[in-house]
Amino acid sequence: MKSFKLNNGIDIPAIGFGTWQIPEGEDAYQAVKEALVAGYTHIDTAAIYGNEKSVGRAIKDSGIARNTLFITTKLWNTERGNDKTIAAFEKSLADLGLEYLDLYLIHWPANETQFEDWAAINADTWKALEYLYQQGKVKAIGVSNFPKEYLAKLLETATIIPAVNQIEFHPGYLQEETVELCKSNDILVQAWSPLGSGRILQDETLIALAEQKSTSVGQICIKFALSQGILPLPKSTNPANIKRNLDIDSFDLTEEDIRTIRTLPAMGFSGSDPKKVAF
């Protein structure tokens, strides 16, 4: 699989398998197993998804060499600050049954509607990630759902520039200012819900484009993210879709196609504004 290079020189497989909303137990186990058999080498989970144990079991049972896989998990919002962050990291590692992580992300920034000292909380939490990185327990560190203002604030105190910002990104929801700030700091953008959680699969323009190229809207969305230098994390529990979402070399998107997709009307959700997310 093709890869992106992170700002610390680490290679990251260009498409990752997302596991949000895939329930712990057989569902997560089977989905990750399918994904590994289909050829994904990059799996994205999070403590709050509750499925780290099954994700880890599927990885172990696959027999695939650990150093050929790229595994990401995320720090949940209740665990911010130095001590809690270190403990949460160790718990995730144990639940996944791994000795190290490839990427650890702060799941959401603390924000000003929750905490007066939100910026200091984010800075302290980031310092804990820097410590874990320096200890060699994780190959790269980053953030998630950090819109421009939060990322800019974090960069004021960060010693290590985040390698990644994982945000909601799909046709109709491009978060241009945040993407621009990431690119200008060599921070790789990862797209969660690159298919708009399935909500944009009925869009007529995308359907016409997919028909013209004998592919599916899902594959168009994945290729579109890649065309923007953004790493997509599609998720699926359907074996055919799991496979299909890796098959994106059989068609091309022209510059005009990309312009068409970029100018689709807004199809986003407020779920990605930290101030509106209730936790």
In the complex, least distance from residue 31 CB atom to ligand A2P, rounded to whole angstroms: 8
- Measured distance CA(261)–CA(258) in Å, rounded: 5
The single residue of 29, 49, 133, 173 carrying the catalytic annotation is 49
Q: Which is nearer to ligand A2P, 19 or 122 (CB)?
A: 19
DSSP H helices, the chain, are: 26-38, 52-62, 82-96, 118-134, 148-157, 176-184, 204-212, 217-227, 239-244, 255-262
Q: Which is nearer to ligand A2P, 137 or 199 (CB)?
A: 199
- Measured distance CA(6)–CA(89) in Å, rounded: 21
Contact residues for ligand A2P (CB under 6 A)?
Answer: 18, 193-198, 201, 216, 218, 234-238, 241, 244-245
In the complex, least distance from residue 7 CB atom to ligand A2P, rounded to whole angstroms: 25
In the complex, least distance from residue 189 CB atom to ligand A2P, rounded to whole angstroms: 15
Q: Which is nearer to ligand A2P, 145 or 216 (CB)?
A: 216
Q: Which is nearer to ligand A2P, 126 or 171 (CB)?
A: 171
In the complex, least distance from residue 104 CB atom to ligand A2P, rounded to whole angstroms: 21
Active site residue 29: no
Of 145, 249, 229, 233, the closest CA to residue 195 belongs to 233
Q: Residue number with the shortest CB distance to ligand A2P? A: 218
Cβ–Cβ under 8 Å, residues 168 and 276:
no
Cβ–Cβ under 8 Å, residues 102 and 140:
yes
The full DSSP string for 184-205 is HTTPEEEEESTTGGGTTTT-HH
Determine whether the annotation assigns residue 42 to a binding site: no
Q: Hey, what are 248's tokens? A: 């994106």
DSSP state of 71: E
Residue positions forming the annotated binding site: 107
Residue positions forming the annotated binding site for substrate: 107
Residues with catalytic function? 49
